[in-house]
Amino acid sequence: MKNRENEVTKKYIKDIKSADVWSVFKIIADFVKGFDELGDLGPTVTIFGSARTKVDTKYYKEAKKLASLLAERGYNVMTGGGPGIMEAANRGAHEHSVESIGLNIDLPFEQELNPFTTKELTFDYFFSRKVMLVKYSMAYVIFPGGFGTLDELFESLTLVQTKKVTGVKIFVIGTEFFGPLVKFLEDKLLGEGMIDKADMQIIHLTDKFEDVVGEIETSLSHQIQVLEDANLEETSYYKSLSSLRK
């Protein structure tokens, strides 16, 4: 582990010292790789959560169960590719005939690719990886996690709030875990006028998986209608969405 940490540290030191032009090429390579490999994905749900969650814990089991429910209905499941909640979600999806996607990040600790993916990519940069995690999904599910998970939660909220992405649902799983955070947002951010009341409605805090699946399927129908209104029935994305319509 120590040798691995030293190797990655040296790599980033080298990156810092290298010419900016070379860094730009590496960034472009990250994006090209993601666009090329993920551009043809059908309906996909991204699940975020802690890399440190153990196999025998409540949230690991719940992430696996929810991913399995979504995959059973034909939705691909995408995660950050690591252990913990990410492994649980990929594991639940892996039981079904959908894509179980893991977008890994090169880190000196924690982040080893879990064995339950059918499609995997490794990124050099957090920001390019995060773009891919949100760009190709119709819903984001946030399970309990640490700094990285909270970063992904607030990035997702900002994208929806500013309408940089549309038609995307954000589900926050764990009323006990996230309840105090949501109360803080209501009391401080909303209470002091830093966000609007409508912004709080972006967050769907729940422990009920049937609500998550139902909301996603409602969103699916809405997105299909939007594509039909735009006369995009011949696109591959429309055909992949409509294949799940009941």
* CA 42 – CA 116 distance, rounded (Å): 19
- Whether the model pTM is above 0.95: no
Whole-number pLDDT of residue 18: 56
Is 222 a residue whose pLDDT tops 90?
no
* CA 142 – CA 236 distance, rounded (Å): 28
Number of domains in the chain: 1
Q: Which value, in Å, is the radius of gyration of the alpha carbons in the chain?
A: 18
Is 226 a residue whose pLDDT tops 60?
yes
Residue 69: which residues within 8 A CB-CB, separation 6 or more?
A: 92, 209, 213
* CA 236 – CA 231 distance, rounded (Å): 13
Q: pLDDT for 57-110, tens place per residue?
A: 999 999 999 999 999 999 999 999 999 999 999 999 999 999 999 999 876 655
What CATH number should be reported for the domain holding residue 124? Answer: 3.40.50.450
* CA 88 – CA 235 distance, rounded (Å): 32
> What is the percent of the chain with per-residue pLDDT over 70, rounded to a whole number?
89
- β partners of residue 203: 170
* CA 93 – CA 116 distance, rounded (Å): 8
DSSP state of 191: T
Whole-number pLDDT of residue 2: 55
The lowest-confidence range among 107-121, 129-143, 220-234 is 107-121
The lowest-confidence range among 109-113, 129-133, 215-219, 222-226 is 109-113
Overall average pLDDT of the 191-212 stretch: 96
Confidence of residue 245 (pLDDT cuts 50, 70, 90): confident
Q: Domain range spanning residue 212?
A: 2-242
